[in-house]
Structures are given as structure tokens and as C-alpha cells.
């Protein structure tokens, strides 16, 4: 009998502790039972029941799961990575919802917020009762957020924000937006309740990727906020970049979930599909493809688990996260495309998850630092030369 999953070829389970494995298996069951049956429809109609899902994900305990306190589970970083992998084996949009909530919006408040901001938002966000978004990117400043035009100016004891953000996950469904803005001094972060006058978040339509995810513009027109809305513990670009480290780490694992789902689908299909009188799986060309893909998936898993161990030891450096994000997303998209060839025409439909994953991974390749940005981060670590500008 063939092995049930390409992961088993590598004996990956032996590298994961019992508790982390149990968390992974719980998330896998949730995705298979509750999410998988709806994904093709959500994708086709570009609609996601975000609020209902957030509350279920909160009950499952995955929102901000690697943070301590405030109703968060305080799991290992490895368990968080494995959860991301299972969520993205469902759909990158599902993992995005969780990444943005836990690694970006919650983490920003958890790491850089005041005690009052933490008490007000974190328990409700962990429970999925409040949804967060994270506004860094602008239409003209994606890879280079330091050039952002959104401005916050002081007016007496208040702050007034003007500008706009683009491509913001969860934007239209969020209760709270963490918005980064230029001030007279440095870039500062603001905790903006989305009901504040002057704030709006129109949804971006006609996406061909991440269709089961809400993506929005944030518009800020004279949004007046009290001093207590500023994240007190950070000034400068290092603040938002510290949050990106968390989300990028989740993608190191998450992208492999999408790849695994594609590979499992392609293996199963190749064993069923008869071509020229024998199963597609019995041809050497098919086996060469499957073997090469399993190898890249396994290598990616080993890298992810290594980075997870470093993170659990508080020793993970940003350029190491770049190694993982660059490699694993690049290999995941290559695997998705190769798996699509194995399914032939059937591979282009939503009957199978492969094209959906492949299309999603186009966004994953671009967001949280494009492949080129991560190459430049690694290049800087290797040479000491910053070649971004
Ligand atoms: P640079 O001068 O190098 O650095 C500015 C300040 O930041 C510090 N820093 C970091 N701190 C923590 N973690 C990191 N990874 C850091 N990298 C740099 C640095 O020490 C410095 O601190 P200080 O105190 O001296 O001010 O900055 P730069 O302007 O040259 O830019 C560097 C570059 C290009 C790497 C950076 O801007 C970058 O990463 N660009 C990509 C932007 C990006 O990834 N955006 C993502 C937006 S969020 C998103 O996509 C969510 S999608 C999620 C989903 O749906 O799943
Ligand atoms: P650009 O920066 O314009 O890049 C275009 C091309 O130029 C890329 O190939 C890039 O690699 C290349 N390039 C850039 N700089 C260099 C250089 N120095 N040298 C060589 N090549 C270079 N942002 C948020 O803040 N919050 C969110 O929640 C969020 N969610 C997103 C959800 C989706 C579905 C998508 C697609 C994006 C999301 N983003 C979000 C934005 C995302 O982070 C940006 O798209 C990303 O940072 C790239 O910016 P850009 O699209 O403006 O591309």
C-alpha cells in the first residue's frame, strides 16, 4: 500500500512533540469537517462568512494562539506554524484571516500596546468577537512602506489621521484597524475603531486570487483619535516590521499546507486515472514529478520545523524567516502548478483544490514581502550591502 501522505515519507511526525501534534490534528479535523465542504463555493462567489468563521476560529483557540495572556492559548511557535499549515491546506484565505488577526493586529497591540489597549481588544479578538486588520501598505508604497503618505498630525491632545491604505485583509469586516502613519517625528501605529467618523473600508472586487478572503482599501478622512489610540511602545518602521516577522513565520508553514493538499490530490488522482490502459501513477514520468514534489515538500517541512525550533528558543532572526518564506512559497507554487498538469483539464476546475491553491499562492508570493524583497534581505545578510534602493 502507498503511504497516506507525502509527509510520512520524511517521518516528520517524529520531529514534532505530542502536544504540538495534537493541536495540529485538531485544526486538521476542523478544516476537513467544517471548512473544506464550503471552500469551492466561497471561492467561486468570492464571499466569506468572516464573522461566523472568526467566532468558530476563536472557539478553536487559534486566534493569537502563540501569544501569552489575555485569553490567548500561549502555545509553542511550532504549534502555531503547524496550525497555519492545516488552515492553508484548506485555503490561503482562511490562513490569511488567522494570520492578520493573530500575527498582525493582535500582535501589534500585544507587543506595542498600552495595558488599556490590551485589555480592551485582545480578549475579544482571541475569542473572535472582534476582528482586526493591519494597514501598512499603500497603493504607491508596498515593498517600500517607509515612503507612506498617510499622515497623523497632532491637534491639541488629539491626533488627526488622513490618507489611505490598499490591499488590506479583513478591512471591510474589521472592528479595529491597526493603522501605521507618518508623523512629524517617526512612523507611529494607531488603534482605530472602525466606527470612528471619517474611517471607511471599501472592499476590493474582481480578484482572481484569495477570493475566499476579504481584501479592502482603508480610507481615512480627518479621523480624530485621542492620545490613548497611539501604540505607545513603538516608533519607526521597526514596529510594523516586527509584526511582519510573525506573519511571515506563519506563511513558512502555511504555504506548505497548500502544497501538501495539491500533492495529495494529484497522487490520488494519478492512481485512479487510467491513461493508455494503465493508471497515470504507473508511468515513470508521473512518478518523477511526484517524487520531486514530495522531496521539495519534505525539505520545506524540515526548514519550517528548524525555524520553528529557533523561534521557540527565541533565537530566530528576520533573515532566517526570509529564507523560509522565499523557499517555501516559491516551492509551494511550483508544486501547485506541477500538480495541475497531472490532473489535465480536470485540474482547472473548482472540483479539485489545485487551481484554487495555485491562484492563492500568487498572492502569498507577493504579500508579506515579495520574493524579490526576501532575496534582498538575504543578500544584505550575506554581503552587508543593502540593495533595496
Ligand atoms: P530599514 O532601514 O532596513 O529598516 C527600518 C527599521 O526597521 C528595522 N527592521 C526590522 N525590525 C524588525 N524586523 C524586521 N524584519 C526588520 N527589518 C528592518 C530596522 O532595524 C530599522 O530600525 P530603526 O530603529 O533603525 O529605524 O528599512 P527599509 O526602508 O530599507 O526597508 C527594508 C525592507 C524593504 C526589507 C522592508 O521595508 C520590507 O520588508 N518591505 C516589504 C513590506 C511588506 O512586507 N509588507 C507587508 C504588508 S502586510 C501584508 O502583506 C499582510 S498580508 C497577510 C495575509 O493576508 O496573510
Ligand atoms: P510593489 O512593491 O510595487 O512591487 C512590484 C514588483 O517590484 C514586485 O515584483 C517586487 O518584488 C518588485 N520590487 C519591489 N522593490 C524592489 C527592489 N528594491 N528591487 C527589485 N524589485 C523590487 N498589506 C497590508 O499592509 N496589510 C494587509 O492585510 C495586506 N493584505 C494583502 C492581501 C492580498 C490579497 C494582497 C495581494 C496584498 C496584501 N497586502 C497587505 C499588500 C502586500 O503586502 C503588498 O502587495 C506587497 O508588500 C507588495 O507591494 P506592491 O503590491 O505594491 O508591489
What residue ranges in the chain does DSSP mark as E strands?
A: 68-69, 72-73, 132-135, 151-155, 158-169, 176-182, 187-193, 199-200, 215-226, 274-275, 278-279
pLDDT digits (tens, 9 = 90+) for 51-86: 999 999 999 999 999 999 999 999 999 999 999 999
CA angle 336, 15, 75 (to 5 degrees): 90
Name the residue at shortest CA distance from atom 46 of ligand 1. Answer: 368
Binding site membership of 145 for ligand 1 (Cβ less than 6 Å) = yes
What mean pLDDT is predicted for residues 90-109? 98
| 85 neighbors 258 (Cβ within 8 angstroms) | no
Report CA(198)–ligand 1 centroid distance (Å). Answer: 28
Hey, is 173 helix, strand or coil? helix
pLDDT at position 4 over 90: no
Strands 132-135 and 176-182: parallel
What's the 167 CA to ligand 2 centre distance in angstroms? Answer: 9
Are 130 and 177 in contact, with CB atoms under 8 Å apart?
Answer: no
Given the cut 0.95, state whether the ipTM is greater than it.
yes
pLDDT in tens, 244-268: 999 999 999 999 999 999 999 999 9
- CA of 141, closest atom in ligand 2: 52
Sequence-distant (6+) residues with CB within 8 A of 35 are 90, 91, 94
Instruction: Report pLDDT for 180.
Output: 98
Side-chain-facing half-sphere of 331: CA atoms under 13 Å: 28
Burial 234-252 (b: 16+ CB within 10 A, else e): bbeeebbeebbbbbbbbbb
Closest-approaching ligand to the CA atom of 210: 2
pTM: 0.98
Tell me what pLDDT residue 187 has: 98
Q: Do 65 and 78 form a contact (C-beta atoms < 8 A)?
A: no
350's CB contacts (< 8 A; 6+ apart) are: 40, 43, 44, 356
**Residue to mutate (ligand 2; options 46, 91, 142, 380; most atoms within 8 A of CB):** 142
Using a 6 Å cutoff on CB, does residue 236 contact ligand 1? yes
Q: Does residue 68 line the site of ligand 1, with CB under 6 A? A: no
Can you tell me whether residue 127 is helix, strand or coil? Answer: coil
Atom of ligand 1 nearest to the CA of 169: 55
What is d(CA 336, CA 266) in angstroms, rounded to the nearest whole number? Answer: 9
Which residue has a Cα nearest atom 18 of ligand 2?
Answer: 388
CA angle 296, 300, 306 (to 5 degrees): 150
Q: Measured in angstroms, how far is the CA atom of residue 361 from the centroid of ligand 2? A: 14
Instruction: Specify the pairing of strand 278-279 against strand 274-275.
Output: antiparallel
Amino acid at each position: 500500500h502507498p503511504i497516506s501522505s507525502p509527509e510520512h515519507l520524511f517521518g516528520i511526525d517524529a520531529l514534532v512533540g505530542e502536544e504540538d501534534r495534537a493541536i495540529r490534528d485538531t485544526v486538521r479535523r476542523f478544516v476537513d469537517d467544517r471548512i473544506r465542504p464550503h471552500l469551492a463555493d466561497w471561492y467561486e462567489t468570492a464571499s466569506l462568512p468572516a464573522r461566523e468563521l472568526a467566532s468558530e476560529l476563536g472557539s478553536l483557540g487559534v486566534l493569537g494562539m502563540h501569544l501569552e495572556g489575555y485569553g490567548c492559548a500561549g502555545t509553542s511557535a511550532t504549534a502555531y506554524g503547524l496550525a497555519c499549515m492545516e488552515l492553508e491546506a484548506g485555503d490561503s484565505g482562511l490562513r490569511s484571516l488567522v494570520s492578520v488577526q493573530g500575527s498582525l493586529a493582535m500582535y501589534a497591540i500585544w507587543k506595542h500596546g498600552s495595558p488599556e489597549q490590551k485589555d480592551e481588544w485582545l480578549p475579544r479578538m482571541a475569542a473572535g468577537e472582534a476582528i482586526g486588520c493591519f494597514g501598512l501598505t499603500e497603493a504607491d508604497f508596498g515593498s517600500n512602506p517607509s515612503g507612506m503618505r498617510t499622515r497623523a498630525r497632532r491637534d491639541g491632545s488629539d491626533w488627526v489621521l488622513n490618507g489611505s491604505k490598499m490591499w488590506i485583509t479583513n478591512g471591510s469586516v474589521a472592528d479595529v484597524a491597526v493603522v501605521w502613519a507618518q508623523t512629524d517625528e517617526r512612523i507611529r501605529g494607531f488603534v482605530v475603531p472602525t466606527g470612528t467618523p471619517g474611517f471607511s473600508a471599501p472592499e476590493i472586487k474582481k480578484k482572481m486570487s484569495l477570493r475566499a478572503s476579504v481584501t479592502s482599501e482603508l480610507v481615512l478622512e480627518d479621523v480624530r483619535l485621542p492620545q490613548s489610540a497611539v501604540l505607545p511602545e513603538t516608533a519607526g518602521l521597526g514596529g510594523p516590521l516586527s509584526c511582519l516577522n510573525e506573519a511571515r513565520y506563519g506563511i513558512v508553514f502555511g504555504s506548505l499546507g497548500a502544497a501538501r493538499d495539491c500533492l495529495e490530490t494529484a497522487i490520488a488522482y494519478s492512481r485512479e486515472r487510467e491513461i493508455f490502459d494503465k493508471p497515470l501513477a504507473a508511468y515513470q514520468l508521473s512518478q518523477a514529478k511526484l517524487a520531486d514534489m514530495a522531496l521539495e515538500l519534505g525539505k520545506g517541512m524540515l526548514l519550517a520545523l528548524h525555524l520553528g525550533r529557533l523561534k521557540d528558543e527565541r533565537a530566530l532572526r528576520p533573515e532566517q524567516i526570509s529564507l523560509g518564506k522565499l523557499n517555501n512559497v516559491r516551492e509551494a507554487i511550483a508544486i501547485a502548478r506541477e500538480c495541475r498538469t497531472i490532473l489535465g483539464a480536470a485540474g482547472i476546475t473548482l472540483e479539485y483544490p489545485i487551481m484554487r491553491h495555485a491562484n492563492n499562492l500568487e498572492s502569498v508570493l507577493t504579500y508579506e514581502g515579495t520574493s524579490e524583497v526576501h532575496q534582498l534581505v538575504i543578500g544584505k545578510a550575506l554581503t552587508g550591502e543593502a540593495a533595496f534602493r
